[in-house]
Amino acid sequence: MKTLIVLALLAIVAALAGGGLFMLRKRSTDASGRDSRMAWALAMRVGLSVCLFLFVLFSYWMGWIRPTGIPTGH
C-alpha cells in the first residue's frame, strides 16, 4: 500500500515538473502547442491528485489502512 501511494506521489510530482518544463520552454513559433501540453500536464496532475485522495479514502473505508496518530504523553 505504501509503495502504491509513493508511486502515485512521484507521478504527481513528475506531471507538475512536466507542466513547469512546458511553461518555461521558449518556442516562439508554436505557442499554442506549448500551452496545450502545459495544460494537459497540469490537468493530469490534478486528476492524479484527486484519484490518490479518493483511493486513500476508499482504502480507509475498506480497512486496508488505519490512522496511527501521534502518541501523546510520552
Band the pLDDT of 72: cuts 50, 70, 90. confident
Q: Is the pLDDT of residue 6 over 70?
A: yes
3-state secondary structure of 8: helix
Positive or negative CA dihedral for 36, 40, 41, 45? positive
pLDDT in tens, 11-50: 999 999 988 888 887 665 555 666 788 888 889 999 999 9
Q: Look at residue 56 and tell me whether its pLDDT is greater than 80.
A: yes
pLDDT score at 28: 55
Report the helix count and the strand count for the chain, using DSSP H and E: 2, 0
